[in-house]
Amino acid sequence: MLRIKEGGLSTTVQDTGRFGNYHIGMPPSGAVDQYAHRIANFLVGNEADAATLEMTYSGPTLEFEEDALIAVCGADMSPSLDGEAVSTWTAIGVDAGQSLEFQFATEGARAYLAVAGGVDVEQVMESRATYTLIGIGGYEGRTLEAGDELPVGEPAADAQEGATVDDDVVPDYGSEDTIRVVMGLCDYRLTDEGRDVLLGTQWKISDEADRVGYRLDADVDIQDLFEEREQPFGAGTDPTNVVDLGYPIGSIQMAGQPIVLMRDAVTGGGYATVGTVVSPDRGTLAQGRSHETVTFESVSVDEALTIRESWNDQLDALREELLG
């Protein structure tokens, strides 16, 4: 059992996501940075789909009721056990009764705490991921608060204290990010110049950047990027409007400003989407902090497939190394 003493800024139980219900408006949820989530799991002997705690900017304080094996990956929140600093990206042994504490993240936005055996809350539609908008999954469908008690599953027998990964596996969150995008969907609505502006602008991550979407700011009038046309029947009058359609996770929706849709996204709507962030880069963007800047780089679908494949290969190799 994990006893939450302070909830942190926004801490939720997350996993690899809830699938199969997009057509009724259910986004996948799950860890927005799957890279850090999965490595944290592998370090403590869990499979990728075990549930971790996703911590945002400022983590919780929690007490362990039993001995445990944990790993913290992702943004650097300087974890400490009973006041002693502990390593990140490393499996750490915890004694029953010890308290784990975090500081405000110095780099990156989200860290993941994995516990051997996984956070064992009940599944909703085959997933433990929290989706706070309608209050399902995770712990009572909400962010964690003081007093919450989270059950832990049965650890794998051979999980090892001290397991760690090479330095080159750990991302550098502080650097300015290039986010790779496959342009498309409704990008026919953009003028050539509008497309150049989208790809040539340094976008600032706004204060509204969360699990639903990352809103990006710049001194750009979005309507000016669009082709003029007589709006088709049912689309609505604004040039950025289309007949309401499904939004891919990772797509860039042009709703007054570009919004990159994350894992708790609205599943559809009437704003033109003009491209989709390549799947591994969605996690990179999710580590971007408000007021940091990002630029989009257009890649082909073949390049996107190669990027995904090498991301998968890297994680498979780590899984092999850590889980055997």
Structure tokens at 94: 């915890």
Q: At which residue do the structure tokens 């997933």 appear?
A: 127
Which residues in 252-279 are b (16+ Cβ under 10 Å) and which e? bbbbebbbbbbbbbbbebbbbbbbbbbb
Query: Taking CB under 8 A as the rule, does residue 186 contact other proteins?
Result: yes
Token pair 């996993």 in the structure block, residue: 15
Residue from 3, 19, 63, 298 binding other proteins (CB under 8 A)? 19
Q: Footprint of other proteins on residues 44-83 (CB under 8 A)?
A: none
Q: Which two tokens stand for residue 282?
A: 């969605």
93-132 residues near other proteins, rule: CB under 8 A: none
Contact pick of 9, 26, 169, 170 for other proteins (by CB under 8 A): 26
Which tokens is 19 given?
């699938």
Q: Residue 310 Cβ, how far from other proteins at the closest point, in Å?
A: 12
What DSSP state is assigned to residue 181?
E
Nearer to other proteins, 32 or 136 (CB): 136
Smallest gap, in angstroms, from Cβ of residue 222 to other proteins?
Answer: 13
**Shortest Å, Cβ 303 to other proteins:** 9
Q: Is 298 in the site for other proteins (CB under 8 A)?
A: no
Choose the binding region for other proteins from 40-48, 101-109, 161-169, 233-241 (rule: CB under 8 A): 233-241
Residue closer to other proteins, measured from CB, 86 or 124: 124
Q: Does 257 bind other proteins (CB under 8 A)?
A: no
CB of residue 32 to other proteins, shortest distance in Å: 15
157 binds other proteins (CB under 8 A): no
Query: DSSP letters along 187-225, please?
Result: GGGB-HHHHHHHHHS-EEEEEEESSSEEEEE-S--GGGG
Smallest separation (angstroms) from other proteins to the CB of 4: 23
Distance of CA 298 to the CA centre of its chain: 21
Q: Is 108 left (phi over 0), alpha (psi -120 to 50) or beta?
A: left
| Binds other proteins by CB under 8 A, chosen from 279, 283, 284, 294 | 279
Q: How many CB atoms lie within 10 A of CB 21?
A: 14
Q: Which of 7, 118, 239, 248 binds other proteins (CB under 8 A)?
A: 248
Q: Are 275 and 182 in contact (CB under 8 A)?
A: yes
Question: Is 235 within 8 Å of 276 (Cβ atoms)?
Answer: no
Q: How far is the CB of 264 from other proteins (least distance, A)?
A: 10
Q: Which stretch binds other proteins (CB under 8 A): 61-69, 75-83, 98-106, 274-282?
A: 274-282
Q: Do residues 294 and 216 lie in contact, with contact meaning Cβ atoms separated by under 8 Å?
A: yes
Query: What distances in angstroms separate CA 48 from CA 15, 39, 165, one per listed residue?
Result: 8, 8, 16
**Count of residues touching other proteins (by CB under 8 A):** 52
* Distance from C-alpha of 136 to C-alpha of 120, rounded to nearest angstrom: 15
Alpha-helix runs per DSSP H in the chain: 34-43, 192-200, 279-286, 301-323
Among 73-81, 157-165, 215-223, 241-249, the segment contacting other proteins (CB under 8 A): 241-249
**Residue among 193, 202, 232, 291 that touches other proteins (CB under 8 A):** 232
Q: Should residue 266 be labelled a site residue for other proteins when binding is judged by CB under 8 A?
A: yes
Interacting residues with other proteins (CB under 8 A): 19-26, 133-136, 141, 181-182, 184-186, 232-238, 241-251, 266-270, 273, 276-279, 301, 304-305, 307-308, 312
